[in-house]
Every structure is written in C-alpha cells, then in structure tokens.
Amino acid sequence: MAHSDLFSEFPPHSESDWQAKIEKDLKGKAFSDLLKTDANGNTIRPLYTGEGLDLKDQPLKEHPKWDIVHEIVVNDEKSANAEALNFLNRGATSLIFYLKGTENLKALLENIEIQYICLNLVLAAGLKEISQQLQDLVKERDLEEAELEGSINFDPLENLARTGNWFQSEAEDMAQLKALQNINFAGMRSVCINVNHAENAGANHSQQLGIALAMAYEYIYKLNLKSTRGFWVNFAIGSDYFAEISKIRAFRRIWQQMQKELGLNPQEVRIYAETSMRNKTKFDRYNNLIRSTAEAMAAIIGGATEVNVKEFDLSYREAGFFSKRLSLNQLSILQHESHFHQVRDMARGAYFIESLTEDIAQKAWQFFKEIEVEGGYLWALENGFIQKSVSAQADKQQALFNRGDLILVGANKYFNANEKGEFSTETSSSESDKKPHTFVEALVAKRLSAALESQQISQIQN
C-alpha cells in the first residue's frame, strides 16, 4: 500500500488565522477578552500553536528514571534503620535521613546496600563527623566512592531564610561547606539548595526559581566553585498542575542559561521534588491524597529526578505507618503501573506547556536579576526584598482562598463539622524554629487553610 501525506490536501493556518476564526465565532468580542491571568501572574490564552516556539536544544534529563523517596527523621539509629529496610523492601529507591549530626552511620545504614540507592543526609550540625563516617563506611565495605549517589544536605542559606539565623555564623557555616567540597564523593551532591520553604511560604513559580538561582550564584561565589556538578535542588510542588510541570522544566532552562552566563561547562542539575504543605487540609484529609498524587505527577512529568510524597495527615499529626505506606504506594503506582519512568520529557511539544514553561523561565530570570540588583541573595534577605516579594504573593493567594476563588475541599468548601479527629491549632515549623533574635526576617511557611481551620476547630470544641 502506497504511503501518502494525509495532511497535504489541507492548507496550513497561522495563529492569526485561528484568532480571526475565533473572533468571528465570538460575534464582535475581541480575542483579548478570553485572556486570563492566573494566580502566579501568567497569562493563559485560549489558543496555543507552535508559532514562535523554539524546541531545539532544550535541556532534558539524562535518563527518564526517577527515584521513589522515603524520608526518616532519625531519633535513634536502630528504629530508623528498621524503617529504612522496611520501606526499601516495599519499593523505595531513595532515602532521606534528617540527622542531628551525632548519629552512628554504621548502625544507621546496617544491611542497607547504599551503592544501589540514592542516599540523602540532611544536617544542621556535625558535618565533618558525618562526612568522615561516610568515608570510613565506604572503605570498610570496599566500595568505590563513585558508586554512591545522593546528597549531603547542609544548606545555611535556606536555614537563614527559614529561621532568620545561620546554623553557627556565616563564616563558620561557609567554611564547613567549603571543606565538604574537598571530599571526593563523585556521586554525592554536596551543594544543596532547598527552595521548598519558598513554596510553602507562598512564593509563586517564578519567585521560587529566581530564589533558587540566586542561592546557587551565592554559593558559587562564596565557595569559589568552578563547576555546578555538585548541585542538588529541592522544590515543593503545589496544586497548579500545568504550571508546576512547567516550573520544573523552566528551571532546567534557566539553570543552563546561568551556567552559560558564568562561562561554566553545562552540568545537569539533580532536582528533588516534594509535595507542598501549603494546600493541605486538616479536615477531609483524604483529599490530600488526591492533591499529592497530582503534585507527584506534575513533578515527574516536569522532570524531577527524586520525588517525595508527604504523608496525607502530616498537617495535624505525626505520620504513622499507614500514611507513610500510602505515600510510597502513590509513587509505586505512578512508576510501575502508569509507567511514568519510561519517557524523559512527556510534555515536550505540548504547545500550552511549552509556552508556559517559557513564560515562567523569563519571569524567573527577571526576578533573579532583581535579586542581584539588590546585591545578591544575602543582601536581598537582609534588606527584606525577598521577604516582601514573597509576602505580597502569599497575601494574594490567601485573599483568593478567603473569598472562595481558590477552593480547598474540606476547608472553605464542603466543610464537614461532624468529622471526628484529634485536631489542634498549630504553629508553623518556621515560627517554632525561629530564635528570639534573628539575623534576618524569616520566611514563614503557612498553610492556606490554617486560620480558617483554627476557627472551625474552636467551633467544634465549643
């Protein structure tokens, strides 16, 4: 059977042709009347075509593979080790341990084949000791350091924004981080940028990306880095599905652009994504499973390399085994049943997402430049520029929620006053971490429904 071009008999039409057709059907209304601006300031059009889109040479993940994360706050090594082994056997491929810095790594990682997983260690102290223990463990197990993959997460710039203070002092924190760069863990990322707090504090997509670039540039300058090979970036993913897909994709573009501007050899950035806490509710909490599943999908389609689904009941109690297992299962279904690990860039060529990616990238680069005009990340925190910018956006989001334009089922829509549970009012993690005297004003994380739920809880209890 002869092959023929089925579309050859149809004349091509430009975007202006389509707009003219739409305006004709609108019977006198202008095409511009259909344009909408979303909560993040992006213009959403009713029509997208490939005109003006340059899809060549866009950065992609090296592999379609992504890792299923299980996180553990370490209170004692034995129980943390047992939990890690349990969830590795259930399908986790990445572990993130939150450490105090005094732990025994040999006991914590007993029987865990660290060369076959992603190993992420989050520290606020004890960086030198933990790093040395990891080196000793690698030698004891006769492993090659290049076999390890993951991160040693000591991020004083994030701690400064979230709590208002350094871990110790600027000089001491940077000295510790610089010493870490001299340890030869080829697969372990040692310059970690945690921007998840910005999403949870109410920053929009372009602000989150701009802040991430500003933090990266600050570390490059302070540590005198000649390569971006060691960077690991953590984003929180919210509920604006297509925009969150575009956010991750946009970051890869502006990351490439920053490296080019600085004359650095292009290196792929490792992107860790976790589900947002800002849109999670205490009431009708099983809706949080739906929210976090969509957020995980957005992270994967956008190109994250590690994905962590926060537990659905974390907004009002410490997560237990049941909610931890559900979080793992959400990702397992996406990977093993939906096959989200088989394509590098599923959104490529989708005109709406490509256009939104470019819009967010341009706005993010502009916000990055605005931070640099203020003197860079540290000065922009000290003079309050970043805090004011994020706070203004957070206030807009809160106003939308308060008047019912931004709906969270179980909170400002379909609230169930008869729901049973142990609820209490809350203090945000950023508020509880903040010391009495802070170096800068902290970026405070706050759930959109927190104030409303406090009123609802009071009504129920009374």
Q: How is the chain split into domains, by residue range?
A: 67-360
Instruction: State the average pLDDT over residues 263-272.
Output: 94
Determine the Cα–Cα distance for residues 245 and 435; give it in Å rounded to an integer. 36
Query: pLDDT at position 425, please?
Result: 54
Q: Considering the chain, what percentage of its residues have pLDDT values greater than 90? A: 73
Across the range 150-171, mean pLDDT stands at 97
* Residue type (1 letter), 214: A
Give the mean model confidence (pLDDT) for residues 240-266.
96
pLDDT band at 436 (very low <50, low <70, confident <90, very high): low
pLDDT score, position 10: 79
User: Which tens digit of pLDDT belongs to each residue from 97-148?
Assistant: 999 999 999 999 999 999 999 999 999 999 999 999 999 999 999 998 888 9
DSSP label at residue 409: B
> Is the model's pLDDT at 94 over the cut of 60?
yes
At residue 214, φ and ψ (nearest 5 deg) are -65, -40
| Section 188-203 average pLDDT | 97
Looking at 3-7, 49-53, 66-70, which range is the least confident one?
3-7
Determine the average pLDDT of the residues in 195-206: 98
Residues 370-427 pLDDT 10s: 999 999 999 999 999 999 999 999 999 999 999 999 999 999 999 888 887 666 555 5
Superfamily classification of domain 67-360: Methylmalonyl-CoA mutase (3.20.20.240)
37 - beta bridge partners?
A: 43
Does 435 have pLDDT greater than 70?
A: no
**Whole-number Å distance between alpha carbons of 41 and 173:** 36
Distance from C-alpha of 442 to C-alpha of 199, rounded to nearest angstrom: 14
Distances in whole angstroms, Cα of residue 174 to Cα of each of 100, 101, 157: 19, 17, 10
DSSP string of 111-145?
A: T--GGGSEEEEE-SS-HHHHHHHHHHHHHHTT--G
DSSP three-state, residue 192: strand
> How does pLDDT run across 311-350, given as a tens digit for each residue?
999 998 899 999 999 999 999 999 999 999 888 888 888 8
**C-alpha 224, offset from chain centre:** 26
Residues forming a β-bridge with 72: 97
Residue, of 49 and 236, whose pLDDT is higher: 236
Residue 432 pLDDT class (50, 70, 90 cuts): very low
Q: 439: which DSSP letter?
A: S
